[in-house]
């Protein structure tokens, strides 16, 4: 059903080697254990499944675009987006850059969109007022940044 829906998954990283590995769509089965077996079976291209290798099926792979992205440089993609997963990356930046990144994510999300972050990360700065926390590391955007806050970025 997914190929018939308006879905695009943008997978980014600063490291082209990581992106190339991800784009191949083949992973050790041990890395797929967190995905529930029925979903894993639906996504697996191998029939019968390999005991050691998981290969993403063609329909699922067609939904994903891979791109290099430096979070502190210009972003090639434009919003609005429905979901952003940025886990365990922002913690490596200082507080000012973290605040700027949270604001940029907020600007890229639709109202009602979701931001999923790492367990050790917390929203700081003006963007914090734009989100409501709905889980340990899941936030829903409830408001846009004020115009004055956006021009300061």
Q: What is the pLDDT of residues 48-83, one digit of tens each?
A: 778 899 999 988 889 999 999 999 999 888 779 999
* Span 77-103, average pLDDT: 93
Please state the φ and ψ torsions of residue 136, each to the nearest 5 degrees: -55, -40
Q: Please provide the CATH number assigned to the domain covering 71-151.
A: 3.40.50.150
pLDDT (0 to 100) of residue 79: 77
What pLDDT is attached to residue 148?
A: 40
Which candidate, 19, 17, 46, 20, places its Cα nearest to that of 32?
46
Q: Which pLDDT score, from 0 to 100, does residue 5 have?
A: 75
CA angle at residue 74 from 137 to 21, to 5 degrees?
65
Predicted confidence band of residue 151 (pLDDT cuts 50, 70, 90): very low
What mean pLDDT comes out for the span 125-141? 95
Work out the average pLDDT over 80-91: 94
- pLDDT, residue 120, reads 94
For the chain, the structural domain boundaries read 2-66, 71-151
Tell me what pLDDT residue 118 has. 95
CA separation for the pair 56, 73 (Å, rounded) = 31
Q: For the chain, give the mean pLDDT.
A: 89
Count of C-beta atoms within a 10 Å radius of residue 109: 24
Q: What's the rounded Cα separation, in Å, for the pair 132 and 126?
A: 13
């Amino acid at each position: 059903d997914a190929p018939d829906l308006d879905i695009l998954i943008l997978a980014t990283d600063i490291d082209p080697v990581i992106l190339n590995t991800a784009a191949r769509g083949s992973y050790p089965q041990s890395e797929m254990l967190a995905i529930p077996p029925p979903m894993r079976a639906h996504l697996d291209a191998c029939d019968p499944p390999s005991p050691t290798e998981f290969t993403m099926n063609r329909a699922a792979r067609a939904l994903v675009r891979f791109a290099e992205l430096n979070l502190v440089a210009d972003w090639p993609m434009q919003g609005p987006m429905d979901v952003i997963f940025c886990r365990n990356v922002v913690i490596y930046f200082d507080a000012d850059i973290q605040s700027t990144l949270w604001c940029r994510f907020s600007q890229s999300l639709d109202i009602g969109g979701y931001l999923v972050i790492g367990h050790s990360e917390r929203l700081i700065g003006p963007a914090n007022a734009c989100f409501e926390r709905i889980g340990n590391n899941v936030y829903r955007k409830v408001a846009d940044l004020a115009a004055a806050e956006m021009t300061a970025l």
